[in-house]
Amino acid sequence: MVKKIKEYKPSKWIYVIFFTLPLFFTLLVIRNLDNDLWYLLSEGRYIVQNGIYKIDPLSMHKGLHVTVQNWASASLFWIIYNLFKEPGMIVLVLICNFFICFFAYKLCLTISDDNKILSMLLMFATSITLSSHYIVTRPQILSFIILLALLYVLELYIKTDNGKYLIWIPIFSFIEINIHASLWWMIFLFILPYVIDSFKNNFLRTQGYRKKPLFIAIIVALLVGFINPYGYKAITFIFTSYGDKYMHSYINELLPFTFSSNNLANHMFLLILITSLIYVFFREGNIRVRYICLYCGTMILGLMSIKGFSHFVLVSTFPLAYFFKDLFPKSFNDIFPELRKALNIFYCIVGVLIIAGTSALFVYKIITVKLTHNAEVAIDVISQYADKNKHTIYSSFNDGGYVEFRGYKPYMDPRAELYLKKNNKKEDLFKEYYDLQHNILNREEFVDKYKFDFMLVGYSDALKATMQESTKYFVLYDDSEKQYMVFVRNDVFDAETRQQVIDSYSDALEKAKAEAKEKEVKNN
């Protein structure tokens, strides 16, 4: 045992500690799987079973042109969920977070001249910030890996002057355009500061390095972007899908940054404040122009929309590895060399405890985290009477993804860009939905226009009061706890069947009330 302790190298346990802690924190903040996962799984299921589609098959509207800009990631999500359910999705998040940590660490290590302590601290800070707000079951977690890997190969190219690293840029372009086309242009926005810094200029203090291999890689990457099922439509997706005033006023993550009690806004302000002070304090240092451009550019994106701050998190901290590379010891053993053996044992114990804690938390999350929706029982009730190929269903923006997952075709779902006329080439349905919810559109006329067979109406939906007063629909389901109601158009059933349904619902409601009252008495 003594011999093994003497021969033991502590650095391995340091890696274990710093790479396991972010996974532990990610598991800690996972409470529910993201609501967008419903429509992503629906897209992926359809593609895996039927192939790529260009006319939307998921909503009730006919003939809507669609660009499934995340077709590859949606298919991946469905395959994993179909095989492994919720545990598979949690493992996917952890794997992605591990690679985010890996490339963040390697990036910091490259520009800090192999300063391991500094690189691990900055990697940990980046991962914790991302995990708090952006590490969710969406295609963006795959894009984060691509963008960090891109910065890593660019820094390797500059450091070694070896053009072979740039071969990865077209590969990243091909992957990104298929997994998350809306962020494909971020590859070139991240490259742009490196292009600027490649021109030697003493006044601007740009570094200057070989431009020809870089430009060739960029051109090839641009051309590779066309290798996707939707061609130029995937490349132009972001320009036709963002900027709509109704989307920006309705979807919170597209709103511009404001000071508020929101945790994300507060955290981003704190990050901007701390990093900006560091940049200003070290203004005498040889800071690279590319880092300043990345920092300012992504901060502007974040101020324009809360969603854009994810890119700011990716690039705001790694330049600090360049600032502080000579201020931090390069190894933990260099701090207390006389305590090397004792620290070695300490690292080992801490590492084992962290691994054990992470494993226990992982098992707990697998048991407790389920992909659920408050409208689950309501859809169960609808499924007793509705024909998936015949009946139409009204659902709100947030509920439509779950309705699609259950196999029905809703009026609306979270794919906001699909319902813009400039994309679907048919009708501006998102504006219609916006007007409906903001008392601009006559609600009775809206219901008469579509003649929905079933209507899934949440308590917060603007249609609730209208439907309760309607004589053309009757209540099939009402749950004050889950806050959902289901309405059925009178002529969906014949008179006899409709009365049986109403009586059945009334009996079930009375039974539920009695059970609830009995439960309350027992609790008291």
DSSP string, 57-91: -SSSSSS-B---TTHHHHHHHHHHHHHHHHHHHHH
Looking at the structure, do residues 360 and 415 belong to the same domain, yes or no?
A: no
Q: What is the mean pLDDT of residues 55-81?
A: 95
Per-residue pLDDT of 387-431, as tens digits, reads 888 899 999 999 999 999 999 999 999 999 999 999 999 999 999
Say whether both 470 and 439 belong to one domain: yes
In the predicted structure, residue 479 carries a pLDDT above the cut 90:
no
CB 104 within 8 A of CB 319: no
Whole-number pLDDT of residue 511: 62
Query: What residues have CB less than 8 Å from 213, skipping those under 6 apart?
Result: 157, 163, 166
Question: How many domains in the chain?
Answer: 2
Q: Are residues 212 and 335 in the same domain?
A: yes
Identify the pLDDT of residue 408: 95
Q: Reply yes or no on whether the pLDDT at 192 is more than 90.
A: yes
What is the overall mean pLDDT for the chain?
86
In-domain check, residue 6 = no
Output phi, psi for 394, to 5 deg: -85, 135
Q: Are residues 149 and 287 in the same domain?
A: yes
- Rounded to an integer, the average pLDDT of 258-275 is 78
**pLDDT > 90? residue 258:** no
Judgement on whether residues 139 and 226 belong to the same structural domain of the protein = yes
Bridge-based pairing of strands 473-479 and 393-394 is unpaired
The strand pair at 473-479 and 484-489 is best described as antiparallel
Per-residue pLDDT tens for 308-320?
Answer: 888 999 998 888 8
Q: Which domain holds residue 437?
A: 376-492
Alpha carbons within 13 angstroms on the beta-carbon side of residue 520 total: 6
- The kind and range of the H/E element at 94 are helix 71-111
Residue 336 has pLDDT above 70, yes or no: no
Can you spell out the DSSP letters for 379-431?
Answer: HHHHHTT--TTT--EE--TTTHHHHHHTT--BS--S-GGGGSHHHHSS--HHH
Question: Is the same domain home to 322 and 421?
Answer: no
With respect to residue 371, please indicate whether it lies within any of the assigned structural domains.
no
* Residues 306 and 384 occupy one common structural domain: no
Position 497 in a domain: no
Please write the tens of the pLDDT for every residue from 339-388.
566 666 777 777 788 888 888 888 888 888 888 888 998 998 898 888 88
Query: What CA–CA distances, in Å, run from 116 to 324, 342, 382?
Result: 12, 20, 58
Instruction: Tell me, yes or no, whether 139 lies in a domain.
Output: yes
User: Is residue 522 in a domain?
Assistant: no
Q: What local confidence, expressed as pLDDT, does residue 117 receive?
A: 81
Residue bearing tokens 């009477």: 385
Q: What is the pLDDT of residue 366?
A: 84
Specify if 519 maps to a domain.
no
Residue 3 confidence (pLDDT): 46
What pLDDT, on the 0 to 100 scale, is given for residue 167? 96
Over residues 30-55, mean pLDDT: 91
Distance CA 488, CA 492 (A): 7
* Predicted local confidence at residue 395, as pLDDT: 94
- Please report, rounded to a whole number, the percentage of residues in the chain having pLDDT higher than 90: 49
**Which pLDDT does position 338 carry in this prediction?**
54
Average pLDDT for 420-449? 93
Do 44 and 182 lie in a common domain? yes
- For residues 71 and 193, state if they share a domain: yes
Same domain, 222 and 321: yes
304 shares its domain with 450: no
Non-local (6+) Cβ contacts of 73 within 8 A are 40, 139, 142, 179, 180
Same domain? 36 vs 165: yes
Classify residue 107: in a domain, yes or no.
yes
The pLDDT of residue 29 is 79
pLDDT at 6 exceeding the cut of 50: no
Which of 256-265, 307-316, 493-502: highest mean pLDDT? 307-316
Lowest mean pLDDT among 38-47, 86-95, 488-497: 488-497
Q: Which of 335, 364, 393 is the last residue of a domain?
A: 364
